Amino acid sequence: MKNRGKILLGAAAAGVIILVGIYLYRGYLGRRSASVITFLRAPAEHANWRISALSRCGEAPFRFPSEGYVGYLWGDSFRPFHKHQGIDIFAGTDVGVTPVYAPYDGYLTREEGWKSSLIIRVPDDPLNPGTQIWLYMTHLADPQGNSLISEAFPAGTQDKPVHTGDLLGYQGNYSGNPGNPTGVHLHFSIVRDDGSGKYLNELEFANTLDPSPYFNLPLNGKSNKDTIPLCSSADN
């Protein structure tokens, strides 16, 4: 009976922890989502939430890849036990309107079958010299999968040189399900190298890096719960 009591007590404690976790998760992500909805309903009324494309915050190594409001941050969770691998930049425009640019010099790859995605190899991480990183961008297609990536980078492109400010394509809302597109935005993440010159799986949070120091912006969802990421010292 004592063992049974301990088991029941342990189960109850675990249940409480899960419920508290869900409550906290819904609380902070709910605020973030509410802000995204507010922006998308009236983007012109919240123009001061946007970051300009190719702007540079202070001495940040990267330029901002696309104009828009950073609605979701690195480390945000859309469901329990999940963490967002990058940032989502919402322009508040229609599909195919808002340009996406290379934020840093590198070598672009667009794998065969990639309708809305591309990745840039940066051989020398500006914050960790001698380390290779990858810059992944996606949702550059319409709901049906018609690509909005520049014709300069057809599917199958491998390691093509690009420079900061080069046009890569346009924000879209491709999700893989035409009946359930995403909101129009750019998803951007920094992916670790596997040590042999290949990028790791971007879908795993541990394979990505906090983009905050690369843009000199508060883009970490763990430390930034409800502040709109903006630069106080933009150097364009």
For 140-156, what is each residue's pLDDT tens digit? 999 999 999 999 999 99
pLDDT band at 31 (very low <50, low <70, confident <90, very high): confident
- Residue 4: which residues within 8 A CB-CB, separation 6 or more? none
Q: Answer yes or no: are the C-beta atoms of 175 and 204 closer than 8 Å.
A: no
pLDDT at 105 over 50: yes
| φ/ψ of residue 118, rounded to 5 | -150, 165
Q: Answer yes or no: are the C-beta atoms of 97 and 170 closer than 8 Å.
A: yes
Tell me the C-alpha distance between 4 and 225, whole Å. 40
- DSSP one-letter string for 76-97: --SSTT----SEEEE--S-TTT
Of the candidates 69, 89, 73, the one whose C-alpha atom is nearest the C-alpha of residue 221 is: 73
The DSSP 8-state label assigned to residue 64 in this structure reads: P
For the entire predicted model, the pTM comes to 0.87
Instruction: Dump strand ranges (E) for 131-174.
Output: 133-138, 160-162, 167-170
The per-residue pLDDT for 3 is 54
Mean pLDDT is lowest, of 20-29, 139-148, 177-186, for 20-29
Name the token pair of 98: 């808002």
* Domains by residue range for the chain, with CATH: 2-215 (2.70.70.10)
The per-residue pLDDT for 6 is 47
Average pLDDT of the residues of the chain: 89
Tell me the C-alpha distance between 230 and 34, whole Å. 18
The per-residue pLDDT for 25 is 37
Q: Answer yes or no: are the C-beta atoms of 66 and 215 closer than 8 Å.
A: no
pLDDT band at 136 (very low <50, low <70, confident <90, very high): very high
Q: Answer yes or no: are the C-beta atoms of 137 and 172 closer than 8 Å.
A: no
- Listed as own residue / partner, the contacts of 204-209 with beta carbons closer than 8 Å and 24 or more positions apart are 204/85, 205/75, 205/82, 205/83, 205/84, 205/85, 207/85, 208/74, 208/85, 208/86, 209/133
Q: Answer yes or no: are the C-beta atoms of 185 and 86 closer than 8 Å.
A: no
The per-residue pLDDT for 4 is 54
pLDDT band at 233 (very low <50, low <70, confident <90, very high): low
Residue pLDDT, tens place only, 64-77: 999 999 999 999 98
The per-residue pLDDT for 146 is 98
